[in-house]
């Protein structure tokens, strides 16, 4: 984990999940998940594909509804919120998609300005433009402002996706597989960006990944998920000091091979 000046408040949970269940048809994806994310903390959720990691953060942001259990985000129960209240909560929670999900008919600048324009109707054009430039500087891509998403590389798209989320100044960031499909150098740049985002924007984050290098670089704690449950939660060294079958094989695959 990169060194920084951040402070983790272990008395303040920004996300509190209890007894979370979710099924799709006969496929039981989440089977009783409990999780806490503390203020200022970066937590990596590790696991193989299809173990329910992405479903977990989609439930946190209210894109999916759980079958059972509670999700408290910044003191509010996501499942009990009305649509306007949920939208208000979403202003405080950023979500970075695995596919980046950039609006392909808009330029990078427009992609970043869009959520700002929609949610801050009182902002002037020059204020929006200034904020867009600040965020593009923060993610290290000011030169892409007039480019279309189709003209960007995979890593650039991911960074712009994160930038579009950051423009609303969220308190919590949810990253869905930020380094998937990227080369090791670009992955390292993205890991650094995630760490910098926490330092610069004061966020708490959940990073969904199956990349142990990413987890080690960005997370204060890691949680290993298997078949819809957490096998172990702790610091990277605590979790991977075990000789437990799946966790050990996960570690060996990433670092030994």
Contact footprint for another protein (CB under 8 A): 22-27, 61-65, 67, 83, 86-88, 90-91, 93-95, 97, 99, 101-104, 114-115, 118-119, 121, 164-165, 168
To another protein, the closest distance from the beta carbon of 241 in angstroms equals 36
Sequence-distant (6+) residues with CB within 8 A of 106 are: 114, 148, 149
The H or E element containing residue 221 is strand 221-226
To another protein, the closest distance from the beta carbon of 236 in angstroms equals 28
Phi, psi of 109 (to 5 degrees): -60, -45
To another protein, the closest distance from the beta carbon of 168 in angstroms equals 7
Which two three-digit tokens encode residue 105?
Answer: 């008919």
**Looking at beta carbons only, is 156 or 236 nearer to another protein?**
156
To another protein, the closest distance from the beta carbon of 104 in angstroms equals 7
Q: CB of 107 within 8 A of CB of 163?
A: no
Q: CB of 14 within 8 A of CB of 173?
A: no
Sequence-distant (6+) residues with CB within 8 A of 207 are: 42, 43, 44, 45, 175, 178, 194, 214, 215, 218, 219
**Looking at beta carbons only, is 180 or 242 nearer to another protein?**
180
Class of residue 31 by CB neighbours under 10 A (exposed 0-12, middle 13-18, buried 19+):
middle
**Looking at beta carbons only, is 99 or 153 nearer to another protein?**
99
**Looking at beta carbons only, is 96 or 209 nearer to another protein?**
96
**Looking at beta carbons only, is 157 or 221 nearer to another protein?**
157
**Looking at beta carbons only, is 115 or 234 nearer to another protein?**
115
Taking each helix axis from N to C end, the angle separating 125-138 and 154-166, rounded to the nearest 10 degrees, works out to: 130
To another protein, the closest distance from the beta carbon of 120 in angstroms equals 11
To another protein, the closest distance from the beta carbon of 233 in angstroms equals 25
């Amino acid at each position: 984990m990169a060194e920084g000046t951040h402070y983790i408040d272990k008395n303040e949970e920004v996300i509190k999940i209890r007894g979370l269940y979710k099924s799709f048809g006969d496929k039981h994806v989440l089977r009783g998940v409990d999780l806490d994310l503390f203020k200022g903390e970066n937590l990596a959720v590790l696991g193989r594909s299809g173990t329910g990691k992405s479903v977990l953060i989609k439930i946190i942001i209210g894109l999916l509804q759980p079958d059972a259990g509670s999700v408290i985000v910044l003191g509010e129960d996501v499942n009990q919120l009305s649509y306007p209240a949920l939208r208000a909560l979403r202003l405080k929670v950023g979500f970075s998609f695995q596919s980046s999900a950039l609006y392909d008919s808009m330029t990078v600048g427009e992609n970043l300005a869009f959520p700002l324009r929609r949610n801050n109707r009182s902002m002037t054009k020059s204020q929006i433009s200034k904020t867009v430039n600040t965020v593009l500087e923060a993610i290290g891509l000011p030169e892409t402002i007039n480019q279309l998403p189709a003209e960007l590389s995979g890593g650039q798209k991911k960074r712009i996706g994160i930038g579009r989320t950051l423009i609303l100044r969220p308190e919590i960031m949810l990253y869905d597989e930020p380094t998937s499909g990227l080369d090791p150098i670009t992955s390292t740049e993205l890991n650094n960006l995630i760490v910098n985002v926490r330092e610069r924007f004061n966020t708490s984050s959940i990073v969904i990944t199956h990349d142990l290098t990413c987890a080690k670089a960005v997370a204060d704690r890691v949680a290993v998920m298997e078949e819809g449950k957490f096998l172990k939660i702790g610091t990277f060294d605590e979790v991977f000091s075990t000789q437990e079958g799946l966790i050990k094989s996960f570690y060996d695959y990433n670092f030994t091979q």
